[in-house]
Amino acid sequence: MTTQKVKTLRTLETHTNYEKYQKTPKFPTCYICTAKPIKTYKGWKKIENEFPYDEVDTKNDMIVPLRHTIEDDLTEEELREFKEIKKDINDKYDMILENTHKQKSIPGHFHLHLLQIKEREI
């Protein structure tokens, strides 16, 4: 068995499942567009990340626009609403994470990760 080094915040099991998903015929379909919302806003929804960053988090949801769009094409109304959503989620998550373009698996649909970080003894 050959080993490789990868940059990931996922556990080995989740990372392996994620790689398998990327090779399935349904992967070209935007998961974000079809994901069932946990909460729906006017122009946004909060969804559960099917492949969380479980090496470092206990919860990983995502905030995404309802329409399939990149960040640069968000409307002024969507941006205003996003600022309000950030206030709403501020006490429920520890951080909002955005991957750089080279790390985005779905670069065509803007999304941000909402993380609750694992507690560790130090």
Give the domain range for residue 32. Answer: 12-117
Note the Cα 3 to chain centre separation in Å: 27
Note the Cα 91 to chain centre separation in Å: 18
| Residue whose C-alpha is closest to residue 10's, from 48, 59, 52, 58 | 52
Residue 85 covered by a domain: yes
- Give me the number of domains the chain comprises: 1
pLDDT tens digit at each of 122 positions of the chain: 567 888 889 999 999 998 898 888 876 678 899 999 999 999 999 999 999 999 999 999 999 999 999 999 999 999 999 999 999 898 899 999 998 887 777 778 999 999 999 998 98
In the structure encoding, which two tokens stand for residue 103, read together? Answer: 């790390």
Residue 90 covered by a domain: yes
Residue 6 covered by a domain: no
Residue 41's CATH number = 3.30.428.10
Cα dihedral: 95, 100, 106, 111 (round 10): 30
